[in-house]
Structure 1
Amino acid sequence: MPETIAEQEAPSWLDPAEVCGRLMAKGESADLIRERCWHDTALGRLETWDPALLTALDIILESRFPMFLTWGCDHKLFYNDAYRPILMGKGDCLGRPFSDVFPEAWPTLKADFSRAGAGEAIYREDLEVPLLRNMRLSRTWWSFSYSPLRSSKGDIQGVMGVLYETT
């Protein structure tokens, strides 16, 4: 009997050639990503996405803690199921620039995104962030960590966020 996960053999049904270019996570947000027609976007077809992006997506999508990641210079937004309540009333946010999804919060968060995009992991505790919820601007407080997200070539292509509301 294997002692660790690393010692376990991969399931026989898992063909590495088939896994490459695939999102493996389960859940509603994962399904939405798989079902979206990405070929008309700057990201291109899902099968051509950077393996590092797919791995990061699998990690956040499998978490039950609110997490998101952004990708590209315009910070296209991806998120897990636990993050979805934060988006209430904002419509379809998948793949949209973070600044377009949260224009009310962007002036407060832009500097932290820039720091993470420059390679600095940051942590903030109880930061006040204005948030538009169901067409109503609210004063909210958040604790969060932003980390740089690297491509398979090693360059920083996005930001990964782990957060919770402390309001």
Structure 2
Amino acid sequence: MVVKSELEKLGLSVLSVELGEADIIGSLDENKKEEIVRQLEQYGFEVIDDKKSKIIEQIKTIVIELVHHSQDKIKTNLSDFIGEKLNLDYNYLSSLFSEVEGLTIEKYYILQRIERAKELLVYDELSLSEIAYQLNYSSVAYLSNQFKKVTGFTPTYFKQLKEKKRKQIEDL
């Protein structure tokens, strides 16, 4: 809403604003682009104008959507899924992502899945088996091993840490 509002304040006709992307009617000269950058930076937004950066952000958006916001399970492997979504060769996407981000798409995906697992463990509404299923792990053991490799803790120990930090209302 902020992005759309600010672009309209600058006199632009905005078609849509989606996660990470704004479509406007017409073209922009360099002065207008600089004005947009200055305006949006005040709100903590970064304007990405080069093609490679846009692709990186699109990959991140796909992974985040897949892990944090989608209940759908992907029917293919991650590389095919991302390649099809962006209609680009996965080898190109993978090398570009690694070059710019310093880690592979797969590692980024794993980190996002572990962050989501941590979030679900803290909520304490699902069992470890349900979390593994929801995050598309083949087994609880696989989730547990990956969780420990990334965080240094087992999921059970992580959950206990959270419980120790919280005080019961009667203890306050």
Is TM > 0.5 for Structure 1 vs Structure 2?
no
TM-score using structure 2 length: 0.22
TM-score using structure 1 length: 0.22
User: Which structure: greater strand fraction?
Assistant: 1
User: Which structure: greater helix fraction?
Assistant: 2
Q: Which has the larger radius of gyration?
A: 2
